[in-house]
Amino acid sequence: MFKGKRLKVAHHDGYILNLKDMEVNLITNMPIKSGIGSYSMELYRILKPSLPGLTLYSYYYKTNEVIPWSVDISQFHTNNFIMIPYVTRKNLSKIRRSKKFLGKNIHILGADYSLVSETDKAIGTVHEFYFTVYNIPRLRNFGEIAKEFYYNYNLLKLSLQIKKFKKIIAPSLHAAKQIKKHTGIEPVVIHETVDDRKFHHRDKSYARRILNLDGNLTYVLNVSGGGTNKNLETLKKIANLLPNNCKLVKIGFPIDSKNSINVGNVEDDIYPLFFNAADVYINVSTNEGFNIPLIESLKSSLPIVSNRCATSFELLGESGIYLDNSYDSKQYLEMILYLLDDKTHEYYSNLSYTRSLRFSEDEAREKYLKVYSEVFG
């Protein structure tokens, strides 16, 4: 199932640790279609060849959304937003009573970190650490307000839990700075990766034919959920400004625009093709701990228009086209149209590919194994 470099040993304070004897438990409570879910699956993929004793466990509150290759340890489920905290607590209580992770090597991948108390050998990946109370004036309904309060409540819990970890991993320098600011702890920064076998350059006309997209139109791509940091109102305004021969392809949470093609959550086998079929990727998120679609775009040689969100500049470097105001829909449109010139598009497409070479799964694997040897060895 897994291909890649098999590492049999790792160095730890001058000693050699035999990785084939190490048992490590990855734990997450998020679905595959989330950023944390895809990170969890990717981490398992790149580490399993080097760690035969690696197991991925998931406990998510909905049914039928189990991460591939994971062991589902949820026993209680709900589709009611109000019931999520209750169901999560019941699942955690059941897991604790089973003593499954008591004293074991665990790496908690997010977004719930309650199981850190089960062992003194725990590593945590913290994807972001910023409070969003300032977002509340922008919220439109009770559901959004409830989500924001729940998010900030979980951050308050995390600020206490985080000090119990032996080591914290952050996916970006920006996230690491936020964690240190709020907790005083210096995380290890390991950028996330994506599978080069899935995300790479392909013929645009081939991708559009498979996806049944009009070969004569221009397509702008965005992948995002429905959180307030995703800035979907601005994305909607941009879509409404697009010329008649241009459409926004929206993966994830839909937006209401005559120029938007809402495809929702797509199957894994065709998902990478959207990056090959598009002409431009647009990022409007105001804050991210990482931003996996940006790496997917780079690997696919897709030019990117983005605001100067800290993680965007960290990931894209000189390959991105930036604007300073995250809410200026007209300036976004100007940048998109600028990129559609053939020579400009080719130039930034090449920059995207060159930048993508910085995100190597071999390098990420080595860093993870070093952390594991320090904490679990």
Identify the pLDDT of residue 270. 97
Question: Cis (ω within 30 of 0) for the bond into 111?
Answer: yes
Please report whether residue 199 resides in a domain: no
Please report whether residue 30 resides in a domain: yes
Identify the pLDDT of residue 21. 84
Instruction: For residue 188, report the phi and psi dihedrals to the nearest 5 degrees.
Output: -90, 130
Using the predicted structure, report yes or no on whether residue 4 has a pLDDT greater than 60: no
Identify the pLDDT of residue 137. 56
Angstrom distance (rounded) from CA 206 to CA 195: 20
Compute the Cα dihedral for 50, 376, 363, 302 and give only its sign.
positive
- pLDDT, one tens digit per residue, over 147-178 is 666 566 666 677 778 889 999 999 999 999 98
pLDDT-derived band of residue 136, with 50, 70 and 90 as boundaries? low
- Percent of the chain having pLDDT more than 90? 73
Residues 187 and 228 in one domain: no
Residues 125 and 240 in one domain: no
- Contact between 300 and 359 (Cβ < 8 Å): no
Residues 178 and 255 in one domain: no
Identify the pLDDT of residue 355. 97
Using the predicted structure, report yes or no on whether residue 85 has a pLDDT greater than 90: no
Question: Domain with 177 in it: what CATH number?
Answer: 3.40.50.2000
- Contact between 262 and 252 (Cβ < 8 Å): no
Residue 102 CB neighbour total at 10 angstroms: 12
Find tokens 């977004």 and name the residue.
111
Residues 135 and 274 in one domain: no
pLDDT-derived band of residue 14, with 50, 70 and 90 as boundaries? very low
Residues 281 and 338 in one domain: yes
Residues 115 and 183 in one domain: yes
Buried-exposed string 72-85: b where 16+ CB fall within 10 A, e elsewhere? ebbeebeeeeeeee
Using the predicted structure, report yes or no on whether residue 11 has a pLDDT greater than 60: no
2-11, 42-51, 88-97, 297-306: segment of lowest average pLDDT: 2-11
Identify the pLDDT of residue 5. 45
Residue 110, strand partner residues: 28
Angstrom distance (rounded) from CA 42 to CA 327: 32
- Contact between 53 and 85 (Cβ < 8 Å): no
Please report whether residue 3 resides in a domain: no
Count of domains in the chain? 2
Task: Pull the structure tokens for residue 115.
Answer: 């199981």
Please report whether residue 198 resides in a domain: no
Identify the pLDDT of residue 86. 92
Residues 318 and 247 in one domain: yes
The set of residues, in sequence order, having a beta carbon less than 8 Å from that of 257 and lying 6+ positions away, is 236, 239, 240, 248
Output the CA angle 164-73-105, nearest 5 degrees. Answer: 35
pTM: 0.87
Residues 161 and 54 in one domain: yes
Angstrom distance (rounded) from CA 4 to CA 37: 21
Identify the pLDDT of residue 12. 44
Residues 155 and 89 in one domain: yes
Residue 95, strand partner residues: none
Please report whether residue 102 resides in a domain: yes
Identify the pLDDT of residue 128. 83
Residues 185 and 230 in one domain: no
Residues 28 and 169 in one domain: yes
Please report whether residue 2 resides in a domain: no
Residue 131 lies in domain:
9-193+360-376
- Radius of gyration, alpha carbons of the chain: 21
Q: What is the mean pLDDT of residues 210-239?
A: 94
Residues 245 and 337 in one domain: yes
- pLDDT, one tens digit per residue, over 202-217 is 999 999 999 999 999 9
Angstrom distance (rounded) from CA 26 to CA 149: 28
Please report whether residue 318 resides in a domain: yes
CA distance readout (Å), 162 to 117, 203, 265, 280, 372: 10, 45, 32, 38, 17
* Of 45 and 163, more confident: 45
